[in-house]
Structure 1
Amino acid sequence: MPSPLSRRTLLRAALTTTAATPLVLASPGTAHAADPYDTLRLKWRDLVLGTGFDPAAEPYASRLTALGATAARLRSTMRRVPGSLWPDLPYADPEPDTDSESFTYSGNLGTSYDRLRTLTEAYAQPGTGLTGDPALLAELLAALDHLHDEAYHAGQTRYGNWWNWQIGIPQALLDICVHLYDHLGAARITRFTAAVDHFVPDSTVASYTGTSTGANRVDLCRVLALRGVIGRSSAKTALARDALGPVFPYVTSGDGLYADGSFIQHTYVPYAGTYGAVMLGGLSLLFALLDGSPWEVTDPNRQTVFDSVEKAYAPFLYNGLAMDGVSGRAVSRGVQKSDTRSVLQDDHLRGHAIVACIALLGQSASSTERARWDAMVKGWIDRARYRPVLDSDALGVAQLARLKAIADGTATAAPEPVGHRLFPAMDRAVHRRPDWAAAVSMASRRITHYENGNGENLRGWHTGSGMLYWWGDTYGNGQYSDAFWPTVDPLRLPGTTVSRKPLADGEGGAWGAPRPDVRWVGGATDGTYAAVGQYLKGLSSTLLAKKSWFFLDDAIVCLGAGIHGRDGTRVETIVDNRNLGANGSHALTVDGTAQPTRLGLHATFTGARWAHLAGFGGYVFPGGANLSALREARTGAWSDINTGGTTDPVTRRYLTLWCDHGTDPTWDTYAYVVLPGATAERTAARAADTTRLTVLANTGEQQGVHVPALGFTGVNLWFAGTVGDVTTTAPASVMIREMGRTATVCVSGPLRDGAVIDLTWRRAVPSVVSHDPSVQVVTTGARLTLRVTPGTAGAVHKAVVSLG
């Protein structure tokens, strides 16, 4: 688990060689006789620093100039004194009982190597003002010797965070060795590779456990591969290649890729947006590096990595952003303190990094896959209006050059896909329509409410309590990017049902420890629409609730029941909490009446039937609801939720809508419909159309809806029972979609106990057209009975039937 200083940006870990300004290498260094080690070393330089573009053109020229300025500032403050290389980064080995200092000091040592890497790149590349500076070269060599002799050498006992010693520092050191190889001399190379061998021995990858899994394993293999290249060791490079093997197969528990497209790191955390991106970025680099060499990765299981582009990563990319629900504690990084400037992270920049990974991985994929991915990448570039990809601070020159080549190429930009994807292994669901997308984040005994650690994401308590994210095709793309996390009320995250019981920073424990003791989380989908449900137990509270979402053509139907708590505090369901920006005054209309736009509006609407927020969409309340609304300006700082964040205050305006269940509610309910992008007129018309949607049940035992116009029936049965025309003999999620003379019946067992589910649909079904092997046809005719053997993975099982 890296320290706060270890992954200041996703780019540092996954894609480039510095957390500061992205750089470019215009030409290789001294020519060498063609041997595999020199070939790979020069290839690595091209991969991470770029080639084949004009360094005097934008955006490259300005980045190189900025790199030079950063390097000059770092150079001016560098001092080789005992215990540090920079005065603000003491790394001296602390006393044995000072764990917190040990943690900081090892991070400082890692940052010292990162700064040297920045200086090295300023020396190696054109246009920086320090290119080829012989005095700088001498200072770099002396600084490397200083850090080696004092801290990072064979025989040194490590202290603080393991990640710094085994991944962060050796990656920086080996990158420096690649760029300065012709100036190091044999003695230095021997000393430096011995240091890497000491901290990253072969035994580090001997077993696929602990800190040597998933993204961390790929990072370790990167270290071993480059150590083999720099030290001219075939055995080390071969070990790096072979140690990648355990990363490829699908897993059924713990860290890694799952067959359903889930990616987990730290055992309990959905992490495609950060650790998954690190893994994808590392693999894309290593595949490209070793391709065509004696150590080429030929393991046939590597195909799972290529498959993951469309199964595990693309579903969470929208208009260039990566959805926050799979980015773990990284959502709290926002604007972080850095050596010379503030470093921004957000969902868009994380998305840009993944898009760049996909572009690079395409170089190792089949021509068919590459053509598909180039079209996807070009589409993301075209639609990234909120934060343009080709002007992204998250990308280095090499990444930008690869992406620009695709943008200028012949591929036809692919549109955002339409459909629904369930990810049972990580309690996530993503719904896409032609002009909007949504995602829901849940928690269970398998998946954490939230992850905090290393002082990060201290108030992400309720992100797994049914948080519902949504974005429009041309609107709302900055909802979670624009200082949302430090300014939003953490007890009022959109879509969640929460007790307003005060919680401590880091409540429940770190590294995914806060997991509710519930199993029923999951759903059923035909790939277009879906029924999704969560049995919610509140974090460190007595709160209980059953929550369901029915994802349809232009709407999300949200039901809640069994809402119960005894914390002595109010319980609320947050219909939405829209970030209006620094000065937004979007109009709110409730039941046809425009509400004041002044800050401080706090109103309750008894029996509200609909509401509309200009610029975003509408909300319908079947049967009416007691709706509360609050318009407020909220001020916070990134340091409030992340100890590495900046302390500068930021203020954003919010419009919050919620249903108040009162203090210590007893089995309360809610029902509302979200209409992304709807006009006020369409919202009012939908509220007036009482025949379109029928709520079949909304209790603590069953929840379900029927939409005749779509042929849709969705039911979540928390216990065996009957809802409408559907009966099951065990807890289940059921989705039925009628289309003309056929219907698709979808069933899952969210408890994942493997119990057989007998489903009866009281509908005339003359025959079953097709069915999964896990589905047995028991009866047809006046009614349909299917016997489903659901397994333990929460998968959806389908049958297509004819209708009488």
Structure 2
Amino acid sequence: MPHMSRRQVLSLLPAAGLLAAATPTPASARAAAAVDHPRVLANTVAMLAGTTEVNARPELAGKLASILATARQRLAAMDQAGDGELFAGLRLGTDDVQLRQAFQYLYEIALATRTPGSALEGDEAARRRAADGLVWLHERYFGDQSAGYYGNWHNWEIAIPTHVSRTLALLGDQVPEGLTATYLATMDAYLRNGKNGDVDLDSRFHTGANLADITANRILQGALTGDDARVGKAISDQATVFATIDPYDLQHGVTDGYYRDGSFIQHHRVAYTGSYGRALLSRVVQTLKMLEGVGGGASADLPAVVYRWVADGFAPLIFEGWMMEIVKGRAVVRPATGYTDVGVIAEAVADLTEHVDAAGALALKKYLKFLPAADQAAFVSPGSIARYAAIRADSSVPAADLNPAERSVAFNAMDRTVHRRPGYAFALARSSDRISKYEYMSGENLMPWFQGDGAYYLYLSGEDQREVFGVDYYTTVSPYRLAGVTAPVEERRTVPESYGGRLWYENPGHPLNFTSSSESQNTYVYFPVSGNSFSGGATLGAYGVSGMIQTDDAAYTAKQAGILPEDFVVYRNARATKSWFLLDDEIVVLAADVSGQGGRDAVTTVDSRIAAPGDAVTVTGESWTGRDWRPGDSAPPRWLRYANGTRGTAIGYAFLSRQPVSAGLETVTRSRRVVRTANPDTSVTKNVFTASITHPAKGGLTSLAYALVPNADGARLRAYTRGPLTVLANDRHVQAIRHEGLGIVAANVFTGGPRHVERLLVDGPASVIVRSDSRRSGGRTTVAVSDPTMKRDRVTVMLLGESLRLDGADEGVTAKRVPGGTLVQVTTHHAYGRTFTANLR
């Protein structure tokens, strides 16, 4: 299943897609590129509304009932509409969200009239009302370009055209003459981030999931008007999203898309697999369904690329049916859960089984059976529900994860790390001068400041993750006390609080032109990057090491340089050098050179977890003197244990350095609106556990070391006094540990020059893992090396006192015996954080 460059993708496109991309299109080319437009429309209607055969299946009863009930609700709202309204309660003319909803409601009415088995199927009166509604909206609120395009560009260029295009397809011959052409001309005019009313691959708006949405709409629009050139151009444009992003050879300057290591980026610098990546997966699979048997469609080789997205991009980020928080951008604070996110993916995967080869199809079917049952009510297509149900019911297909049972994944291209073991998964969010510290936008994710500063999430098997993470985690846990974060002691204001209720910083007169969707808004408000280049790590088999230098964000740095206006609000960050060592039974965390900056204290949060108020939660521990430790104890603990007896889960914290730890439980009640302005004003009460360590502004506590031990009991935690972990170094230059049982030495070297790590000499910056076992495979030593800065051409590691020979290595790795040991040289030029390994004997 290949990773594909843009050149390879274009080579796989059929002649129709390529010929139609040229404008103007000669008649001969149009003939060669002929598309079966009625088939595109029929495929689309079948995808959205189902077929008589599919809808007769018992699994579809719930979906059909939902389609009918929604349509009747929308028709009732039309009946109750007042002056200036199409639907009761939707005030049009200044609110783009309510205008989008009006078009959505018309689509939902039209859908019911074309859904076989629906009581409204073929209802001419309902169809006319939907068609008349399209005319009414265009005449009053959509056709006037001078009055439109307020609010979010996405509604005008993507969301509304999606509903309009699908409604026109569903209404078919009920559409008044000329209305389709009128709408297409208007929608083309609203494509203001495009070029000449079409996609512009050089536009920063026409990338990734956004590009897939726009082009899918234009394929359908071309089918509605019998326009081969429009369909062919849209297919060709959409095909570019299949190309693996090469950061050293960007096409059209686009960084959005999938990378070789499975990372997905949207908005140029945001880790976004779980939201925009999910949307992209869904839309390209829908396009494959639209173009089945059409001619001029995408190549049959492209589904293999999508399979790779699922196996390497999505599967590591899904734990027991839950999409991890680290790749959801601002969507982390939406009420929809990680289970709902995975339901969207499950629908796409079920449909993808029809397009990949037999081996890939079987692997995907096994994966669908392995995942918990998805909520099929959220599926778009009735056919997908039927396909998914058939796969789940097929006794000949065994359940199997796409992940190995033990897996450590360095998504270095998006500054994320995932570590999986039977019983738990650990997810880490980093940031750098490449990847943003967080995403805030449109009143979503109001308190995001530290989400990319080493925030981590420890998922335990058997938990209902809605009770542990999701929107309620961000609602009830302090934004300064997210698990894993080192934050300064201060109070910050949200964007609306900072700017008088506005959801962005407004200053169009400034040279940087601050408007809602401007590049300056992106850079300094919506998703600012950090100032450090060291963020990444190495993997060796199922083990890993990751590191990051925590610094200020781009806005604070620019304000100090006099680039930003005086009234622009910025905050200085705490500083720290951090490492995470990913093993079997534990995750070891080191922090050094910690400072709150500017005379402030800083606090490192070892963990924060939430539970229902009625859960039987206990916090126990033991001091270094051997006596029991309880919350409020001032003595440094040797270990702590958080246990939820109601849910049968526990986490241990083994401290490898001595320092006071503040740990305890607090009942917190807040509204979900504190994290997102559009959330319902739902009050949430949780029992919040927090364990944290304070770094006084005037004091010597600038470093610490501890291990997270999932599912630990007291006996296991006491055993850490006898090993197997040893902290070898923990300062701003080097952080390193040794695990005796695994034979592993792992290190992050943050600064240049050769640095000693036990019997290693590492030319930093670098991440290194060395595993040695004289009993294993004839005394093999394996070395894994990565450049977390992504800037180095070569990294060298000297194994001191070892005279070894090379016994297999990745391309670009050499090893030779030299006086004093064995020298391993790794060519990291243009590797973008990739790990290189060498086997030595």
- TM-score higher than 0.5: yes
Q: More displaced, 146-155 or 670-679?
A: 146-155
**Amino acid in structure 1 at the alignment position of 2:814:** Q
Structure 1 residues 300 and 401, CA, compared in 2 at 3 Å: closer, same or farther? closer
Number of the residue aligned with 1:692: 724
Distance 1:667 1:656 in 2: 19
Number of the residue aligned with 2:490: 501
Contact 1:431 1:438 survives alignment (8 Å): yes
**1:293 is paired with a residue of what secondary structure?**
coil
Contact 1:352 1:394 survives alignment (8 Å): yes
Contact 1:451 1:512 survives alignment (8 Å): yes
Question: Is residue 412 of structure 1 aligned with residue 398 of structure 2?
Answer: yes
Note the 1:614-629 alignment, pairs <5 A. Answer: 614=643, 615-629=649-663
Alpha-carbon distance, 1:188 to partner: 3.1
**Amino acid in structure 2 at the alignment position of 1:752:** M
**Amino acid in structure 1 at the alignment position of 2:638:** R
State the TM-score, normalizing by the size of structure 2: 0.83
Number of the residue aligned with 1:248: 242
**1:535 is paired with a residue of what secondary structure?**
strand
**Amino acid in structure 1 at the alignment position of 2:322:** L
Question: Is residue 239 of structure 1 aligned with residue 272 of structure 2?
Answer: no
Number of the residue aligned with 1:70: 70
**1:718 is paired with a residue of what secondary structure?**
strand
Distance 1:472 1:663 in 2: 35
Number of the residue aligned with 2:19: none
Among 686, 703, 714, the alignment partner of 2:735 is 703
**1:587 is paired with a residue of what secondary structure?**
strand
Alpha-carbon distance, 1:392 to partner: 5.6
User: Tell me, which stretches of 5 or more residues in structure 1 are unaligned?
Assistant: 1-33, 93-100, 335-344, 597-601
Alpha-carbon distance, 1:282 to partner: 0.8
Alpha-carbon distance, 1:538 to partner: 4.9
Identity of aligned residues (%): 27
Structure 1 residues 663 and 85, CA, compared in 2 at 3 Å: closer, same or farther? farther
Contact 1:774 1:797 survives alignment (8 Å): no
**Any idea what the Cα deviations from partners look like across 1:603-627, whole Å, max 9, x if unmatched?**
2442201111222221111243311
**2:160 is paired with a residue of what secondary structure?**
helix
Alpha-carbon distance, 1:595 to partner: 7.6
Distance 1:589 1:452 in 2: 37
Alpha-carbon distance, 1:443 to partner: 0.7
**Amino acid in structure 1 at the alignment position of 2:386:** A
Structure 1 residues 754 and 736, CA, compared in 2 at 3 Å: closer, same or farther? same
Question: Is residue 683 of structure 1 aligned with residue 731 of structure 2?
Answer: no
**2:189 is paired with a residue of what secondary structure?**
helix
State the TM-score, normalizing by the size of structure 1: 0.86
**2:465 is paired with a residue of what secondary structure?**
coil
Distance 1:50 1:136 in 2: 19
Structure 1 residues 651 and 567, CA, compared in 2 at 3 Å: closer, same or farther? farther
Distance 1:394 1:679 in 2: 41
**Any idea what the Cα deviations from partners look like across 1:492-525, whole Å, max 9, x if unmatched?**
1111111132122148965643222101111111
Among 783, 789, 794, the alignment partner of 1:751 is 789
Contact 1:765 1:783 survives alignment (8 Å): yes
Distance 1:520 1:706 in 2: 22
Alpha-carbon distance, 1:726 to partner: 1.5
**Amino acid in structure 2 at the alignment position of 1:412:** P
Distance 1:52 1:610 in 2: 62
**Amino acid in structure 2 at the alignment position of 1:551:** L
**Amino acid in structure 2 at the alignment position of 1:329:** R
Alpha-carbon distance, 1:58 to partner: 6.1
Among 89, 96, 99, the alignment partner of 1:106 is 96
Structure 1 residues 205 and 621, CA, compared in 2 at 3 Å: closer, same or farther? same
**2:142 is paired with a residue of what secondary structure?**
coil
Alpha-carbon distance, 1:700 to partner: 1.4
Among 432, 444, 457, the alignment partner of 2:432 is 444
Question: Is residue 638 of structure 1 aligned with residue 676 of structure 2?
Answer: no
Question: Is residue 524 of structure 1 aligned with residue 538 of structure 2?
Answer: yes
Note the 1:268-287 alignment, pairs <5 A. Answer: 268-287=269-288
Question: Is residue 36 of structure 1 aligned with residue 65 of structure 2?
Answer: no
Among 172, 175, 179, the alignment partner of 1:181 is 172
**Any idea what the Cα deviations from partners look like across 1:661-681, whole Å, max 9, x if unmatched?**
234666601111111112232
Contact 2:333 2:470 survives alignment (8 Å): no
Contact 1:475 1:616 survives alignment (8 Å): no
Distance 2:132 2:42 in 1: 24
Question: Is residue 136 of structure 1 aligned with residue 174 of structure 2?
Answer: no
Among 559, 563, 584, the alignment partner of 2:590 is 559
Number of the residue aligned with 2:765: 731
Number of the residue aligned with 1:766: 804
Number of the residue aligned with 2:182: 191
**Amino acid in structure 2 at the alignment position of 1:318:** F
Structure 1 residues 52 and 475, CA, compared in 2 at 3 Å: closer, same or farther? farther
Alpha-carbon distance, 1:491 to partner: 0.9
Q: More displaced, 137-146 or 318-327?
A: 137-146
Structure 1 residues 331 and 784, CA, compared in 2 at 3 Å: closer, same or farther? same
**Amino acid in structure 1 at the alignment position of 2:313:** A
Alpha-carbon distance, 1:203 to partner: 4.6
Distance 1:302 1:133 in 2: 38
Number of the residue aligned with 1:544: 575
Note the 1:97-176 alignment, pairs <5 A. Answer: 101=94, 105-125=95-115, 129-153=119-143, 158-160=148-150, 161-176=152-167
**1:283 is paired with a residue of what secondary structure?**
helix
Contact 2:143 2:186 survives alignment (8 Å): yes
Structure 1 residues 37 and 794, CA, compared in 2 at 3 Å: closer, same or farther? closer
Note the 1:476-487 alignment, pairs <5 A. Answer: 477-478=465-466, 479-481=468-470, 483-487=472-476
Contact 1:554 1:676 survives alignment (8 Å): yes
Distance 1:594 1:51 in 2: 66
Number of the residue aligned with 1:330: 331
**Amino acid in structure 2 at the alignment position of 1:748:** S
Contact 1:625 1:659 survives alignment (8 Å): yes
**Any idea what the Cα deviations from partners look like across 1:69-122, whole Å, max 9, x if unmatched?**
333333223267775423533332xxxxxxxx5xxx222211110111122223
Structure 1 residues 753 and 471, CA, compared in 2 at 3 Å: closer, same or farther? same
Contact 2:780 2:839 survives alignment (8 Å): yes
**Any idea what the Cα deviations from partners look like across 1:351-377, whole Å, max 9, x if unmatched?**
221122222222221222111111112
**Amino acid in structure 1 at the alignment position of 2:540:** D
**2:203 is paired with a residue of what secondary structure?**
coil
**Amino acid in structure 1 at the alignment position of 2:114:** A
Contact 2:325 2:470 survives alignment (8 Å): no
Contact 2:366 2:400 survives alignment (8 Å): yes
Q: More displaced, 710-719 or 413-422?
A: 413-422
**1:703 is paired with a residue of what secondary structure?**
strand
Number of the residue aligned with 1:313: 314
Distance 2:465 2:818 in 1: 48
Distance 2:52 2:652 in 1: 49
Q: More displaced, 560-569 or 637-646?
A: 560-569
Alpha-carbon distance, 1:585 to partner: 2.9
Distance 1:48 1:737 in 2: 53
Number of the residue aligned with 1:488: 477
Number of the residue aligned with 1:359: 350
Distance 1:629 1:263 in 2: 36
Distance 2:169 2:740 in 1: 64
**2:135 is paired with a residue of what secondary structure?**
helix
**1:389 is paired with a residue of what secondary structure?**
coil
Distance 2:737 2:280 in 1: 40
Alpha-carbon distance, 1:301 to partner: 6.2
Contact 2:35 2:296 survives alignment (8 Å): no
**Any idea what the Cα deviations from partners look like across 1:753-776, whole Å, max 9, x if unmatched?**
224322111242431101223223
Note the 1:44-55 alignment, pairs <5 A. Answer: 44-51=44-51
User: Tell me, which stretches of 5 or more residues in structure 2 are unaligned?
Assistant: 1-33, 248-254, 499-504, 506-520, 554-570, 644-648
Structure 1 residues 542 and 151, CA, compared in 2 at 3 Å: closer, same or farther? closer
Contact 1:628 1:657 survives alignment (8 Å): yes
**Amino acid in structure 1 at the alignment position of 2:446:** L
Number of the residue aligned with 1:205: 199
Alpha-carbon distance, 1:50 to partner: 3.4
Distance 1:353 1:583 in 2: 32
Contact 1:444 1:519 survives alignment (8 Å): yes
